[in-house]
């Protein structure tokens, strides 16, 4: 893949950098600035090279038109603090003001444009619409650096089409993320354990068929564990369940057994009366969820303490651990214990550990862990999973 070196001298050149500055916001305040921090390496290097820097990003999922709550303005402020240098902001992505601001940049200066997804062309299903928007973006600069790792699996105008219109290369974050993922796919030390959880069950099931070929142990927690329990014939009350995936999951269990890959399912679960922080809850055996006081109305919101302990033991014995997806509804303290125990085990194992996924990364930070306690915290959940699935990622293909 082409790196920044391939672009030659960048002094006084206008470099458009696609970042992933999609940070979580609560009432306009950034609650986790991990993705801004992760973008600094490339921006700093380009500043030192004397480039004029135009940053572009999306934030949230606006539907192709401006929506104040998805403005990148607070991100410009935070980035400026972290960078120790001004970051100008323009309230549009393309247009007269954006063009004028980009043209006025001096070497080493940084400009952030407004949310790409305020423009329908960014995520349009129509190839021509995306290409037309990419043309407008390309007109703002001389070269393109792709550094939004969280979006490299998307065929979107600023990720894919734009890279074809200008001399382009991967930024430092994308390069660093790929190095870690290659270590996981090509050079993983055994035993290799993967911990899967979270709520996007059907999104994540795909990665399992691929991982069964490569790992020694799969630990299943989070929302997807109930589809596994149901596939084994157990009743799961009102827990998250993807009924149309039962046969797929039975297939995974059979393949894993044939290949000698261990799929560890929780033996106990925290079941709650309702999906609420203060809901009554109790620990029950995973194969008897409806035996709780809440019967068929009970909702499984975390793995139980015995399961968390078992997961921690497997992690302690592993040389490589990849983790995606919280073990429970960690946002509610009563259901954060499984996630905390798994995170803690990752910080203690001698093995190489990678945490992928927006909510997983936010979870470890919210629980008081720091980035340096892990081998790597990836900025891209979907992108890293698709890479591990062995899929071709459009945003990387175009940089080859
Ligand atoms: P990531 O962003 O790390 O890939 P996901 O987006 O798939 O993770 O899932 C994160 C969400 O999963 C969290 O908001 C968490 O509350 C939720 N979750 C975890 N376990 C459960 C469960 N048992 N039932 C419902 N939601 C769950
Ligand atoms: Mg998520």
Q: For 21-37, what is each residue's pLDDT tens digit?
A: 999 898 999 988 989 99
Pair of tokens at residue 271: 């079941």
- Nearest to residue 351, comparing CAs of 117, 193, 116? 193
Which listed ligand is nearest to 363 at the C-alpha? Answer: 1
Q: 380 CB less than 6 Å from ligand 1? A: no
- Nearest to residue 25, comparing CAs of 54, 62, 50? 62
377 CA to middle of ligand 2, Å?
14
pLDDT of residue 362: 87
Which listed ligand is nearest to 241 at the C-alpha? Answer: 1
- The gap from C-alpha 273 to its chain's centroid, in whole angstroms, comes to 30
Other Cβ atoms closer than 10 A to 353: 24
Q: 298 CB less than 6 Å from ligand 1? A: no
Best mutation site among 325, 333, 334, 338 for ligand 1, i.e. most ligand atoms within 8 A of its Cβ? 325
Q: 329 CB less than 6 Å from ligand 1? A: yes
> From the candidates 200, 214, 319, 391, which is the catalytic residue?
200
What number is the average pLDDT over the span 39-57? 98
pLDDT of residue 213: 87
Q: 339 CB less than 6 Å from ligand 1? A: no
Q: 325 CB less than 6 Å from ligand 1? A: yes
pLDDT of residue 210: 87
Angle at 288 between CA 284 and CA 293, to 5 degrees: 60
- The gap from C-alpha 293 to its chain's centroid, in whole angstroms, comes to 36
Q: 381 CB less than 6 Å from ligand 1? A: yes
Closest approach atom of ligand 1 to CA 357: 3
> From the candidates 148, 237, 328, 358, which is the catalytic residue?
358
Tell me: pLDDT of 199 over 90: no
Q: How would residue 135 be classed by pLDDT, with cut points 50, 70 and 90?
A: very high
Pair of tokens at residue 391: 């899929």
pLDDT of residue 201: 79
Peptide bond before 112: cis, by omega within 30 degrees of 0? Answer: no
Pair of tokens at residue 69: 């709550």
In the beta sheet, which residues pair with residue 89? Answer: 112
pLDDT of residue 118: 98
Tell me: pLDDT of 76 over 90: yes
pTM for this structure?
A: 0.87
Closest approach atom of ligand 1 to CA 201: 7
Q: How confident is the prediction for the chain on average, in pLDDT?
A: 96
Q: 266 CB less than 6 Å from ligand 1? A: no
User: Catalytic site residue 60?
Assistant: no
Best mutation site among 326, 360, 381, 383 for ligand 1, i.e. most ligand atoms within 8 A of its Cβ? 326
Closest approach atom of ligand 1 to CA 360: 3
Closest approach atom of ligand 1 to CA 225: 23
359 CA to middle of ligand 2, Å?
5
pLDDT of residue 204: 85
Packed helices 337-348 and 358-366: angle between N→C axes, nearest 10 degrees: 90
> From the candidates 13, 35, 154, 204, which is the catalytic residue?
35
Max CA separation in the chain (angstroms): 69
Which listed ligand is nearest to 377 at the C-alpha? Answer: 1
Packed helices 246-259 and 201-211: angle between N→C axes, nearest 10 degrees: 20
How does pLDDT run across 360-395, given as a tens digit for each residue?
998 999 999 999 999 999 988 889 989 988 899 999
Tell me: pLDDT of 264 over 80: yes
Q: How would residue 171 be classed by pLDDT, with cut points 50, 70 and 90?
A: very high
User: Catalytic site residue 121?
Assistant: no
pLDDT of residue 359: 87
Packed helices 305-317 and 337-348: angle between N→C axes, nearest 10 degrees: 20
The H or E element that residue 29 is part of is: strand 29-30
Angle at 192 between CA 258 and CA 323, to 5 degrees: 110
pLDDT of residue 205: 82
pLDDT over 70 for what percent of the chain?
100
More confident residue, 93 or 211: 93
> Could you please report the per-residue DSSP string of 274-292?
SSSTT--EEEEEGGGGGGS
Give the number of residues written for the chain: 400
pLDDT of residue 16: 99
Which parts of the chain fold into alpha helices (H)? 34-48, 73-83, 96-103, 127-138, 162-165, 172-186, 201-211, 225-231, 246-259, 305-317, 337-348, 358-366, 381-388, 394-397
Q: 200 CB less than 6 Å from ligand 1? A: yes
User: Catalytic site residue 35?
Assistant: yes
308, 327 in Cβ contact below 8 A? yes
Tell me: pLDDT of 200 over 80: no
294 CA to middle of ligand 2, Å?
28
How does pLDDT run across 286-337, given as a tens digit for each residue?
999 999 999 999 999 999 999 999 999 999 999 999 999 999 999 999 999 9
Closest approach atom of ligand 1 to CA 331: 16
């Amino acid at each position: 893949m082409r790196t920044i070196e391939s672009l030659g001298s960048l002094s006084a050149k206008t470099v458009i950098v696609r970042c992933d500055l999609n940070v979580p916001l609560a009432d306009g305040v950034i609650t986790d600035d991990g993705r801004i921090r992760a973008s600094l390496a490339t921006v700093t290097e380009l500043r030192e090279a004397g480039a004029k820097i135009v940053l572009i990003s999306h934030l949230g999922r606006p539907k192709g038109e401006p929506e104040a709550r998805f403005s990148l303005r607070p991100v410009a402020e935070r980035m400026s603090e972290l960078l120790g240098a001004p970051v100008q902001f323009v309230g549009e992505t393309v247009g007269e003001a954006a063009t004028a601001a980009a043209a006025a940049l001096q070497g080493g200066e940084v400009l952030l444009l407004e949310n790409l997804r305020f423009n329908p062309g960014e995520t349009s299903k129509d190839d021509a619409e995306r290409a037309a928007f990419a043309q407008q973006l390309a007109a703002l600069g001389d070269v393109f650096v792709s550094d939004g790792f969280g979006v490299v699996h998307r065929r979107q105008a600023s990720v894919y089409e734009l890279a074809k219109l200008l001399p382009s290369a991967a930024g430092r974050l994308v390069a660093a993320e790929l190095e870690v993922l290659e270590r996981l796919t090509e050079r993983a030390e055994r035993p290799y354990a993967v911990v899967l959880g979270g709520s996007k069950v059907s999104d994540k099931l795909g990665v399992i068929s691929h991982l069964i070929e490569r790992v020694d142990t799969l630990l299943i927690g989070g929302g997807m564990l109930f589809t596994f329990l149901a596939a084994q014939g157990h009743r799961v009350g009102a827990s998250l369940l993807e009924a149309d995936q039962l046969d797929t999951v039975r297939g995974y269990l059979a393949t894993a057994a044939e290949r000698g890959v261990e799929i560890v399912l929780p033996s106990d679960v925290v079941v709650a009366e309702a999906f609420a922080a203060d809901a009554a809850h109790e620990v029950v055996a995973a194969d008897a969820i409806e035996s709780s006081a809440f019967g068929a109305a009970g909702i499984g919101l975390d793995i139980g303490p015995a399961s968390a302990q078992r997961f921690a033991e497997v992690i302690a014995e592993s040389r490589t651990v990849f983790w995606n997806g919280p073990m429970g509804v960690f946002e509610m303290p009563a259901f954060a214990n499984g996630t905390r125990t798994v995170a803690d085990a990752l910080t203690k194992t001698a093995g190489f550990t990678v945490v992928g996924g927006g909510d997983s990364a936010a979870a470890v930070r919210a629980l008081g862990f720091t980035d340096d306690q892990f081998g790597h915290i990836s900025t891209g959940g979907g992108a890293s999973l698709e890479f591990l699935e062995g899929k071709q990622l459009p945003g990387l293909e175009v940089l080859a």
